[in-house]
Amino acid sequence: MAGNNLIDLSYEEPHRLEDLRRVVFRDDAQRTLIGDDDRSTAGSVYSHLNQRGQRDSTPGSATGSNFTANTGTVFQTVKFAIDEVTPIENLFHNLRCELTKRDDKIKSREAELEKVKAELAESQKVALKLKLVANEEAISENVAKEEKLAKMEALVRQMERALDEKDRALKCAHSKQLEAEDELEVVNQDLVAHSRQNNFLSTELERSSRALQSASAQTLESQRDIASYEAAIVKYKQKQMELEVKIQFYAMMFSGSANGISIISQLEESYRQRIELENKLQQTEQNLKFCVAKLDLLICSISAPSKSLGTREDYQKLGKEGMAYVMRPLKH
């Protein structure tokens, strides 16, 4: 192509079929789109150029001379454009046919797609219904399982309560067993204590038997002592009476002489001896009472071993000397 005003035929975005159906005609002042409906491309170009020449040849126009000078170049350019546009129009016609076929295919495929969509929607509805039925069955199964689980939980709680009751019963039985063991231990201790007490009582009984035998011997001895004490008492009383008569007699006879004084002193000595004899007599009587009391205590201890040799009150009745006498070692 030559000249300043060129016809630029270009395609915008060739990958789009709609844009391939357009041809661009452009000069410095204006751009005109020539569509595929213009069957007379050359007539359109000449008409365009004629309108431009008339506009530019008006009085006072500055472009009229330029248009006249460049007319030859313009027609050459137009002729070249026509030669270039003709095969493009053929191509466009073929493309339109191809597009029509493709549109028909797209419409048929869209119809098939709609049909498939409908079938898919129907199948989805059926699948959803089946899924709902399966879910309902699963829900019913889950409800049955939950009911069964609730029954099992109730049974487990019942078993736990039974186990708790058994545990409490076992604990109660264990505590009772411990109490019984404690009571048994106390009973055993009591038995041991009773056994020891029985042993002690047996020992005391043997001791009491020996003491009874010794007491019997001592009783015989005490009886002999009592008889001798009674005879001594009678003798002491007779002697006392004799001494009193002698004292009175000598006092009357020797009241004023020196010999009387010595006799009185002798009588006083005799009286002192008499007092001593009376004291011994009283001691003998006290010993006799102690022997009788000890004999009574021995008899009581034999009849009631738990009282041993007498109660505390029995010993207190005897006094300190009596207790010392009673608790003296026994002679075997």
Q: What DSSP string runs through 184-207? A: HHHHHHHHHHHHHHHHHHHHHHHH
Residue 24: the pLDDT is 39
How many other CB atoms are there within 10 angstroms of residue 51's CB atom? 10
**CB-based contact 270:243 (threshold 8 Å):** yes
Segments of the chain with pLDDT less than 70: 1-85, 208, 211-212, 215, 218-219, 222, 225-226, 229, 247, 250-264, 267, 291, 294-332
Residue 313: the pLDDT is 56
Residue 250: the pLDDT is 65
Tell the residue number behind the tokens 């039985």, with chain if given.
Answer: 173
Residue 263: the pLDDT is 64
Alpha carbons 92 and 86: distance in angstroms, whole number: 10
- Ramachandran area for residue 76 (φ above 0: left; ψ -120 to 50: alpha; else beta): alpha
Which residues share a beta bridge with 26?
31
Residue 90: the pLDDT is 79
Residue 148: the pLDDT is 92
> For 121-135, what is the HEC assignment?
HHHHHHHHHHHHHHH
**CB-based contact 32:41 (threshold 8 Å):** no
How many other CB atoms are there within 10 angstroms of residue 49's CB atom? 16
- Judge if pTM exceeds 0.75: no
Residue 9: the pLDDT is 40
- Domain limits of the chain? 19-112, 207-326
